[in-house]
Structure 1
Amino acid sequence: MKLFCFLTLFFTLTLQAQIQINGIVTDSNNKPLPFATITTSENNNTITDVDGKFIFKISASANTLTVSYVGFQKKTIALIKNKTFYAVSLVQQTDDLKEVVVSNENPALTIIRKVIASKWQNDPQKKLSNFEYKTYNKLIVTANPDSIDGRIDSSASYKDLDKKIINVDSSDYKFKEIVSKQHLFQTEKVSQYQFTNNKLKETVLGTKIAGFKQPIYEVLAFNLQSISIYDSKYELFETKYENPISNTAPSNYNYKLLDTVSIKGRDAYMIYFKNKQKRRSSGLEGVLYIDKENFAVAKAVMRIKGVLDISGIHEFEYIPKEKIWFQSNTTFKIVKGKNDDDIRILGGTIQFDGDVEENFEPRKKVASDFTYLLSESNSFDVRFNTNNPVKNPSLYIEIKDDAAKKPESFWEAYRKENLDLKSQKTYQLLDSISVSNRIEKRLGIGRKIINGFYPIGPVDLDLKKIISYNNYEGFRLGLGGITNDRLSKNFRIEGYTAYGTKDGAFKYSLGAGVLLDKYTNTWFNGYYTDDVREIASTVFAVDKRVFKIYDPRPINISTFYEYTGWRGNIQTKIIPKTEAVLEFSRNYIEPKFDYLFNHDGKLYSSYTMTTAMLSIVWAPFSDFMQTPTGRNESEKRFPRFTFQYTQSLPNVFDNDFTFSKIDFKAEYEKKYLNRQKTSLLLQAGLAMGDVPITHLYNTSPNNLTKETIVQRITFSGRNAFETMFFNEFFSSQYLMFQIKHGFDRITIFKKIRPSLVIVSRMAWGDMEKPEQHVGPSYKTLERGFYESGLELNKIYKGFGLAGFYRYGPNQLLKFEDNIAVKISYVLDLGL
């Protein structure tokens, strides 16, 4: 039986024997031609990549290759036995391409219109009610050592006629030696995709990343290219572009009919497309292969040329039973493009030649010039109309608990072909380097630093607690932290202590939490705190912690209240696409400014509040990822909504007042292909009942009560009213709206490239029961408050300038009093 199987396999391989050839297609000036079509005598075809290179597996019986490219003459070359590399040079055509005329319209445009009209019957996610399939993906970052040879390895000089000295660039020599043996990075992934109810979910069955025992979840969630070729916005490398077959694409793209070819035995039009805009990064270009019969996409090549040269290739199989083209393979590649300035990323500099000008002397080639990223995915086990239930369909991606622990037999079963020696060594060498250089540990430290923590043994030191400044406490010096997984994954202790140099008081907090469910990140927490907080400030319990090296707005705040007491809460992500906090608290409140609260004729200088609060953020359009350590928002999308309800509890733990508060926030952000961005923020609050001014609303002012504009210069806030003075307005109900529009960076000088942002803010409000608040003088917002301004950010080293003007019913008498000049600072970590 074993012999029979062996002979059957042998003859099968003999009949289907294939050889692999590779090469490059260039023009007469030796410049590479991307997307050139390579067709064998047996009518199989492929295209060149962004470097004009191709790798092609052909049958042994094939005897010729035909190379064609838009604007160039076709060329047919004979295949020579044992020759595996072919360099093909094409000659440019002097006459225009012959195109079939369909009425008076560009024939390519006529075909594209039919593709758009037929999308509903050709898009698997529109035509089919459900389907599922598996994919095997391999991603590498590598370089071709042959490209490095002779270019950056060495240079020769002669001291005299008899003696030659060779100067070797050791760094480049080492780089070539490394990439000759291994790839720079390598990862494999096996996933199951399930589509139902118009939702596509990915479940990662296995993952393997060279140098890492635990997977880097951010890498797994990174979207290199769109899964569907029919998405209205096609995505390449986390950037969305208008799809050349979107409904509005004909007004933004030029199309040209190149040829007719055979794809999987079916005739197809070959159409070249390019965005009409002249900006290199404004849109896609590439080639679409359109089935002549049903006008479905049978193959697609998408490319964007800019700082990086990025291409994505989609290949499909025709399924006769379903009469549909279904994606079978995708290829994604990044090489370095051209840019006018070098770019600094994560402490290293990527160098660029820039656009070629007269008398331009190119710099010496470096290792990064020859490095590229290549990701290839193969689909298999495709099933239609299975009606299999999808677990947690609201998730975009789910990673199985044992995904990173799969044995080698698992990978051997799913790989399309066995790993070559270079790939095997990549795992061995990178795993060894990672251990010796503690790369995995350093990456973990970097993640925590970005979130404002630094791990010291079993405790993460809170960097936000070390030092800060405000007008009430002066310099606030402190120490805080939280235990990490080295102590326990199911239990945590956290706390901090701080001392104000101006108020001379210590503050502290101590808390603990217990993990109830790791998959939904459900924790039960308890805290005891003695600290101060800005009066009338709005704090959403579900807002993410934002870490800044400095927090500019509190510097000028003088009015605080002290709160002492306990709180207990449950925080969870159990409801899909939400995060919620349910909290009970009891606090003793003491205003630290001249204030009395009049309640039924009794004046309170301090009071007790016992409250219940529910806070929830809902992100209906975001993508969420389920990992073995919990649920995370893998891609933040807008709009998103935050709701918070607070209710005092009468006669519970000596609560003094009865009141309710409703807070709401809606956020929207839109990014454009030309690197502009529009942001909208709507925020509102309503306080009902007997509420002291400490817990009302101040709408986030950020202006000093000084005489001159120069004296009022300070740092700008995040979403603060820059021309509104501190404690100028208070409200028991308010509505605030902000719109920002940011433009692409403007090049003034080579090192000065500021970004311009136009900002407008407005607020309306009212104060119920003003007679209850004794002491401070303030105004209300019945007539509204309006300001607009310009931000010129990142002028130099992250610093910028902003100017705002106050207008409308609350405009001040003196013109200069309505002007606020602010310093902005944006820290760019290169992430």
Structure 2
Amino acid sequence: MKLFCLFTLFFTLTLQAQFQINGIVNDPKNKPLPFATITTLDNNNTITDVDGKFTLSSTVKINSFTVSYIGYQTKNISVSDNKKFYSVSLKQRTDNLKEVFILNENPALAIIRKVISNKNNNNPQKKLSSFEYKTYNKLIVSANPDSIQGRIDSSASYKDLKKRRINVDSSDYKFKEIISKQHLFQTEKVSQYQFGNNKLKETILGTKIAGFKQPIYEIIAFNLQSISVYDSKYELFETKYNNPVSNDALKDYNYKVLDTVPIKGRNTFMIYFKNKKKRKSSGLEGVLYIDQENYAIAKAVMRIKGVLDISGIHEFDYVPEEKIWFPGNTAFKIVKGKNEDDVKILGGTIQFDGDSEDAFTSRKKSASDFTFLLSESNNFDIHYNTATPIKDPSLYIEIKDDASKKTDTFWNKYRKDSLDFKSQKTYLLLDSISVKKRIESRLRFGRKVINGYIPLGPIDFDLKKLISYNNYEGFRVGLGGITNDAFSRNFRIEGYSAYGTKDGNFKYSLGSGVQIGKTTNTWLNASYAEDVREIASTFFAVDKRIFKIYDPRPINISTFYKYISWKANIQSKIIPKTEGIFELSRTYVEPKFDYLFNLNGKMYSSYIMTTAMVSLVWAPFSGFMQTPTGRNESDKRFPRFTFQYTQSLSNVLENDFSFAKIDFKTEYEKKYLDGQKTSIRLQGGYSIGDVPLTHLYNTMPNNLNKETIIQRITFSGRNSFETMFFNEFFSSEYLFFQVKHGFKRVKILKKVRPSLVLVTRMAWGNLEHPEQHVGLVYKTLNKGFFESGIELNKIYKGIGLGGFYRYGPNQLSRFEDNIAVKISYVLDLGL
């Protein structure tokens, strides 16, 4: 797996100018001046960053440049051939910017208020009924070889004056050699954007990724920055921030007029903005160039500086006939920030090493200190107020079937500039290395393993079926799998067999499916199974499988029921932003514990249930991508909602009971760049009619009924009550709520870095017709159940520890009985 991770890191994602100078701009007290304007005679310009640093690139020789900053004297600097870095100090000027705004008010606030009030007149997605354009994008991961020292360090050991061994560290030298010839990664994309009926869709006409014949859809769909600078929430690297021109922006940001500069022949105000909060990761910082006539955004620079230094630049072209600034070019860049921990982005495709290995020593600079990710796009072939209908507007991205098969003629037509020698070399070298090292096949293999499968020829063997343990079956050993594309793209066979060492019984399942709709991932499936399942457990048919080497919660479960079922279902993504399953099933159920179901005086020790079920997951805020292999959720967003309805079919195939069940859950999750994460889960169920205990609700208990705390130590579950005993509560209707917040990992020792997670769970429920259930002794959740706890996850090599406390109306009389201590284990595959 480490080898796979290294190859994935190597194959990650600007064109290098022929002439480039760097520098820093300071005031007389040697304090950096952020966002000062740097301009050449040919109107090539840039601005300094928040630290006053700048990089000025040009395809022609730079003889001089001008530095300007509001309130300071403009300075002209001559460029020397042998000098690449310039430290510029500006003197304050005595004359002030002409005040043309309300007295006693920050002039920048007056400008921003007018920008906000005129947004609908200046936002292309509000002013124009429709538009379409094409975009050429190039994304690379590279480094400036001049930044790397490239030395070879060596050390020798001696014994009896004889040299015995030489250790050579040539990593910097090798990295500089590589980066001088090629980029680490490179990809190109040509897209068509269409806007209409307040929806924007991207259709990818061509895509090319160095080292890969088939596109990596995860990279193609990755959202780096917002397309519109007028959205109330501006997105930068999959994190949303309050926009500095949102309706409530003035409560979050401070503003300052920096300068007045011309853009595309129109005068603009240069407005600096910064979040009012002191924490750098709390909000955006940057510069807006505001048209002095119509108060539209003519250029925008958005930046976040924290564990990563991320910047997004938007440039616009003025369209006189539409009286609007329309998006022209965008650029997105990531370099390393201040980070103690290693930071992985794009699924581990690029990594920035932590700044120090321990609290006492600083580490030697590595390749990641010089590596940057740069994505540049330019728009062309723009049409306004078009009447062309958009096909499947609910899709966020659609990739044409032949997008990865475009010839050089196609790329030469759409590239803004022809590929330089270094970019050409990148394709040649990475393609040859990919073939030699079988990178694509290794990547496919890695994806399968992450999802819990080992591909062997036409079959993906299921790792979850190999071995597990529970208190009823004992050790459960087995073998299972599903056919893959090597067998057939339109037909599949799946199944498993297992044996329990404690109950001494075999279990098995066999099923098949045929694809009846490629674009909507529609499959018609049928299966037969004989197996056991935990009583009163809730399963959503549309839930994606979560792979674990082991599932610790069932270890202590003793109450199962045997089932023999025939099923037929249709699964499809035909409804926009959803995935649904409609299923018919006939199931024979036999409880494997002391239980009878009393229905009108008749005692059932086993029964038949014939049901129809519809299960649907709805992700209204996610983006969906149509690929040549089907429809995928490319941009997973929260909240998301899952609904499931089950109805028994009276007098059909010997069905014994009449009932209905409604289940739902809502999930919300927010991740932060500094490693923190908040998740919320609301789940409930409601049953109507005659439902046996096997198919009611147990609200996910995970505690042993033992005398001491030590005896009750078990593995923690993901969404289970750690202080609730197995079979303590049953409900015919319930509501469950959980909130978790995980803080960034804390470094105690080099290999001891726990992640603190605060957890609170609560549930309410009720049981109708308790007289129907004979055998088990249980309670109901009428008064509610409450617990809170602390988890210290990944303390050492994935092992963690948690403590939970039970309180409220169902608190137990003995204090120690309300405490549960749990062991956790998080498997980190390094991806």
TM-score for the superposition, normalised by structure 1: 0.90
Give CA-to-partner distance per residue, 1:301-354, whole Å, 9 cap, x none. 122222222221111101111111111001111222222344578599743446
Cα distance, 1:362 vs. partner?
A: 5.9
Q: Which amino acid aligns with 1:437?
A: K
In structure 2, relative to structure 1, the CA distance for the partners of 1:602 and 1:275 (3 Å cut) is same
In structure 2, relative to structure 1, the CA distance for the partners of 1:167 and 1:598 (3 Å cut) is closer
- The equivalent of 1:447 in structure 2 is 447
Structure 1 contact 152–365 (Cα < 8 Å) conserved? no
Structure 2 contact 154–169 (Cα < 8 Å) conserved? no
Cα distance, 1:711 vs. partner?
A: 1.4
In structure 2, relative to structure 1, the CA distance for the partners of 1:528 and 1:355 (3 Å cut) is closer
- The equivalent of 2:14 in structure 1 is none
Structure 1 contact 38–48 (Cα < 8 Å) conserved? yes
Cα distance, 1:683 vs. partner?
A: 1.7
- The equivalent of 1:204 in structure 2 is 204
- The equivalent of 1:25 in structure 2 is 23
- The equivalent of 1:760 in structure 2 is 760
In structure 2, relative to structure 1, the CA distance for the partners of 1:749 and 1:429 (3 Å cut) is closer
Structure 1 contact 25–32 (Cα < 8 Å) conserved? no
1:497-512 superposed matches below 5 A: 497-512=497-512
1:111-126 superposed matches below 5 A: 111-126=111-126
C-alpha distance in structure 1 between counterparts of 2:352 and 2:604, whole Å: 63
C-alpha distance in structure 2 between counterparts of 1:570 and 1:356, whole Å: 55
Secondary structure, aligned partner of 1:281: helix
Give CA-to-partner distance per residue, 1:800-830, whole Å, 9 cap, x none. 3322222232222222222222223333344
* Residue 613 (str. 1) matches residue 613 (str. 2): yes
In structure 2, relative to structure 1, the CA distance for the partners of 1:263 and 1:726 (3 Å cut) is same
Cα distance, 1:660 vs. partner?
A: 1.6
- The equivalent of 1:110 in structure 2 is 110
* Residue 653 (str. 1) matches residue 653 (str. 2): yes
Structure 1 contact 334–373 (Cα < 8 Å) conserved? yes
- The equivalent of 2:552 in structure 1 is 552
C-alpha distance in structure 2 between counterparts of 1:457 and 1:586, whole Å: 34
C-alpha distance in structure 1 between counterparts of 2:273 and 2:758, whole Å: 35
Match of 1:90 among 88, 91, 97: 88
C-alpha distance in structure 2 between counterparts of 1:707 and 1:361, whole Å: 48
In structure 2, relative to structure 1, the CA distance for the partners of 1:826 and 1:95 (3 Å cut) is farther
In structure 2, relative to structure 1, the CA distance for the partners of 1:618 and 1:287 (3 Å cut) is same
C-alpha distance in structure 2 between counterparts of 1:123 and 1:513, whole Å: 48
In structure 2, relative to structure 1, the CA distance for the partners of 1:479 and 1:405 (3 Å cut) is same
- The equivalent of 1:423 in structure 2 is 423
Q: Which amino acid aligns with 2:376?
A: E
- The equivalent of 2:222 in structure 1 is 222
Cα distance, 1:114 vs. partner?
A: 2.1
Cα distance, 1:88 vs. partner?
A: 2.9
In structure 2, relative to structure 1, the CA distance for the partners of 1:52 and 1:41 (3 Å cut) is closer
C-alpha distance in structure 2 between counterparts of 1:509 and 1:156, whole Å: 61
C-alpha distance in structure 2 between counterparts of 1:221 and 1:672, whole Å: 20
C-alpha distance in structure 1 between counterparts of 2:705 and 2:715, whole Å: 15
Structure 1 contact 598–773 (Cα < 8 Å) conserved? yes
Structure 1 contact 152–366 (Cα < 8 Å) conserved? no
C-alpha distance in structure 1 between counterparts of 2:31 and 2:442, whole Å: 42
* Residue 460 (str. 1) matches residue 460 (str. 2): yes
Secondary structure, aligned partner of 2:757: strand
C-alpha distance in structure 1 between counterparts of 2:635 and 2:427, whole Å: 29
Give CA-to-partner distance per residue, 1:419-446, whole Å, 9 cap, x none. 1122112111111110110111111111
Query: Alpha carbon RMSD of aligned pairs, Å?
Result: 3.0
Moved more, 574-583 or 686-695: 686-695
In structure 2, relative to structure 1, the CA distance for the partners of 1:224 and 1:811 (3 Å cut) is same
Secondary structure, aligned partner of 1:435: helix
* Residue 580 (str. 1) matches residue 583 (str. 2): no
C-alpha distance in structure 2 between counterparts of 1:187 and 1:550, whole Å: 38
Q: Which amino acid aligns with 2:21?
A: G
Structure 2 contact 71–96 (Cα < 8 Å) conserved? no
Structure 1 contact 716–822 (Cα < 8 Å) conserved? yes
Q: Which amino acid aligns with 1:688?
A: I
Cα distance, 1:468 vs. partner?
A: 1.1
C-alpha distance in structure 2 between counterparts of 1:691 and 1:734, whole Å: 15
1:562-581 superposed matches below 5 A: 562-581=562-581
In structure 2, relative to structure 1, the CA distance for the partners of 1:156 and 1:568 (3 Å cut) is closer
Q: Which amino acid aligns with 2:270?
A: M
- The equivalent of 1:379 in structure 2 is 379
- The equivalent of 1:153 in structure 2 is 151
C-alpha distance in structure 2 between counterparts of 1:711 and 1:167, whole Å: 52
Structure 1 contact 154–167 (Cα < 8 Å) conserved? no
Cα distance, 1:746 vs. partner?
A: 4.5
C-alpha distance in structure 1 between counterparts of 2:437 and 2:105, whole Å: 62
- The equivalent of 1:3 in structure 2 is none
C-alpha distance in structure 1 between counterparts of 2:357 and 2:297, whole Å: 35
- The equivalent of 2:4 in structure 1 is none
TM-score for the superposition, normalised by structure 2: 0.90
C-alpha distance in structure 1 between counterparts of 2:92 and 2:747, whole Å: 39
C-alpha distance in structure 2 between counterparts of 1:689 and 1:158, whole Å: 82
In structure 2, relative to structure 1, the CA distance for the partners of 1:571 and 1:96 (3 Å cut) is farther
In structure 2, relative to structure 1, the CA distance for the partners of 1:291 and 1:20 (3 Å cut) is farther
- The equivalent of 2:353 in structure 1 is 351
In structure 2, relative to structure 1, the CA distance for the partners of 1:147 and 1:492 (3 Å cut) is same
Match of 1:52 among 39, 51, 54: 54
Give CA-to-partner distance per residue, 1:128-179, whole Å, 9 cap, x none. 221111100011111222332xx133469999xxxxxx99743333322222
In structure 2, relative to structure 1, the CA distance for the partners of 1:513 and 1:808 (3 Å cut) is same
Give CA-to-partner distance per residue, 1:174-195, whole Å, 9 cap, x none. 3222222221111000001111
C-alpha distance in structure 2 between counterparts of 1:378 and 1:384, whole Å: 17
In structure 2, relative to structure 1, the CA distance for the partners of 1:438 and 1:709 (3 Å cut) is same
C-alpha distance in structure 2 between counterparts of 1:600 and 1:280, whole Å: 67
Moved more, 223-232 or 62-71: 62-71
Structure 1 contact 34–52 (Cα < 8 Å) conserved? no
Structure 1 contact 24–48 (Cα < 8 Å) conserved? no
Give CA-to-partner distance per residue, 1:284-312, whole Å, 9 cap, x none. 22222111111111111122222222221
- The equivalent of 1:690 in structure 2 is 690
C-alpha distance in structure 2 between counterparts of 1:69 and 1:752, whole Å: 48
In structure 2, relative to structure 1, the CA distance for the partners of 1:34 and 1:462 (3 Å cut) is farther
- The equivalent of 1:327 in structure 2 is 327
C-alpha distance in structure 2 between counterparts of 1:554 and 1:439, whole Å: 38
C-alpha distance in structure 2 between counterparts of 1:489 and 1:33, whole Å: 59
Structure 2 contact 533–560 (Cα < 8 Å) conserved? yes
